[in-house]
A = this chain, B = another copy of it.
Amino acid sequence: MDQGKPVLVVGSAALDTIHTPVGSAEDALGGSSFYFSTAASLFTSVRLVAVVGSDFPKEKIAFLEGRPVDTTGLEIAEGETFRWGGRYMDDPNQRETLFTRLGVFETFEPKIPDHFRSTPLVFLGNIHPELQLRVLDQIDKPELVVLDTMNFWIHGTPDSLREVIQRCDVLMVNDEEAIELTGRSNIFDAADDLLARGLRALVVKKGQHGAILFHQNATPFFMPAYPVRKVIDPTGAGDSFAGGFIGYLANSDLNDADAWRQAIVHGTVVASTTVEDFSLNRIQLVHLDELAARVSQLRAMTRF
């Protein structure tokens, strides 16, 4: 794939402690900005904005040096790196937070370096909607802004979130979140509602049940998940999906409806690799030819 337009990501940077039915990992690299950057940099250049503490073990992101990821915007602040601990159940869609130590993430103020300000594609990772707004205030109007959020903000800061949505092009949430956000009873009505607010597209992530793309003026697209036989760690699947999705669009004509479908397919296969090992262990080793093979398999498994 050709090197596409650059993508700016603003999100979390974390050290995760994860327990799953098949094993555990402690202080492993995590956070939306790292998952997204690793995934998107398979397709295009990435500009990363996040914060870590002075305790952050930099060797954990040494692999990013070999990739087109500009880490100028990775701030190192005095204090502890954000740490999250969680436990996944047999159903990987169910997880329990064991602890959250915000550390330097608590006072994160995204500062967009000057040479990042006119990036054509932007991913706003799941952070406080007020911070997402402040990112948008610091940049020139991009061609495409993709927004991630979660139920915590849907319930906690609905007004700010509504404002961010109005300034974004694509919202990426799971099915429950789409319903909670709109108060509608099913995802189809929720999609109508969100597209009527001016969004260009809504991506509904359903974990092992796949994803749906609702797009202004285009037929919805239903994509089953790539069948992963052994899910080791579901953390980061959504951010990797976003990285594959936006990375693909960075090489595409945004007015091409087929490209949006291919972007969903590429998000799907990238996410399928992430969950095959803890942390970023697997996704940092993935190559485009492996992804292309999974895309072919998905086509063979869905055509009729």
Contacts and interface: CB of A to CB of B under 8 A. Distances in A.
Contacts of A262: 304
A227 B222 contact: yes
Interface SS of chain A? mixed
Which residue, of A227, A258, A304, has the highest number of chain B Cβ atoms within 10 A?
A304
A304 B209 contact: no
Contacts of A261: 304
A239 B237 CA distance: 35
B210 A300 contact: no
A301 B221 contact: yes
B301 A222 contact: yes
Interface in A185-244: 185-186, 188-189, 206, 209-210, 219-224, 227, 229-231
A183 interface: no
Contacts of A231: 186
Contacts of A258: 304
A264 B265 CA distance: 22
B186 A229 contact: yes
Contact of A209 (B188, B206, B265, B303): B206
A90 B175 CA distance: 13
A302 interface: yes
Contact of A300 (B209, B219, B301): B219
A21 interface: yes
A299 interface: yes
Contacts of A303: 303
B227 A224 contact: no
B304 A229 contact: no
Interface string A244-265: 0000000000000010011011
A221 B302 contact: yes
A209 B229 CA distance: 18
A270 to B, nearest CB: 15
A191 to B, nearest CB: 10
Given A206-B209, A224-B224, A227-B220, A185 B301 contact: no
B304 A188 contact: no
A204 to B, nearest CB: 11
14 contacts: A21-B185, A186-B231, A188-B229, A189-B229, A209-B209, A210-B210, A210-B222, A219-B301, A221-B302, A223-B302, A224-B224, A258-B304, A261-B304, A262-B304
Interface of A: 21, 90, 185-186, 188-189, 206, 209-210, 219-224, 227, 229-231, 258, 261-262, 264-265, 299-304
Nearest first, the 5 closest Cβ-Cβ pairs linking A and B are A222-B224, A209-B209, A261-B304, A188-B229, A222-B301
